[in-house]
Amino acid sequence: MSETKLIKTARSKGYQIARKTTWEEVFHQILFNEVEPVLNKLQKPYFLYDYPATLASLSKKKKNDPRFAERFEVFLAGIELGNCFSELIDSNEQKSRFQKELSERKIKGMTEYSIDNELIKALSSGMPEVAGIAVGIDRLIMLAGNFENISDTLFFPAKELFDLKEG
Q: What is the pLDDT of residue 10?
A: 92
Domain count, the chain: 2
In a domain, 143, yes or no: yes
Q: How many C-beta atoms surround the C-beta of residue 60 within 10 A?
A: 21
Is residue 163 assigned to a domain?
Answer: yes
Residue 122: the pLDDT is 93
Contact 130, 86 (CB under 8 A): yes
d(CA 66, CA 53): 7
Task: State the helix-helix crossing angle for 91-108 and 117-124, rounded to 10 degrees.
Answer: 160
- pTM, two decimals, is 0.75
- Judge whether 22 lies within some domain: yes
| Mean pLDDT rounded to a whole number for the chain | 88
Whether 54 is in a domain gets the answer: no
pLDDT in tens, 109-137: 888 899 999 999 999 999 899 999 988 88
Asked whether residue 71 carries a pLDDT value surpassing 80, the answer given is yes
Residue 86 in any domain: the answer is: no
State the helix-helix crossing angle for 3-12 and 23-30, rounded to 10 degrees.
40
In a domain, 15, yes or no: yes
pLDDT band, very low/low/confident/very high, at 37 (cuts 50, 70, 90):
confident
Q: Residue 31 pLDDT more than 70? A: yes
> H or E segment at 140?
helix 137-145
| Count of alpha carbons within 13 angstroms of residue 84, beta-carbon side | 15
For the cut 80, the answer to whether the pLDDT of residue 141 exceeds it is yes
Is 144 a member of any domain?
A: yes
- Residue 116 placed within a domain: no
Q: What is the span of the domain harbouring residue 153?
A: 137-167
Inform me whether the pLDDT recorded for 43 exceeds 70. Answer: yes
Q: What is the rounded average pLDDT of the residues 155-161?
A: 70
The three-state secondary structure class of 134 is strand
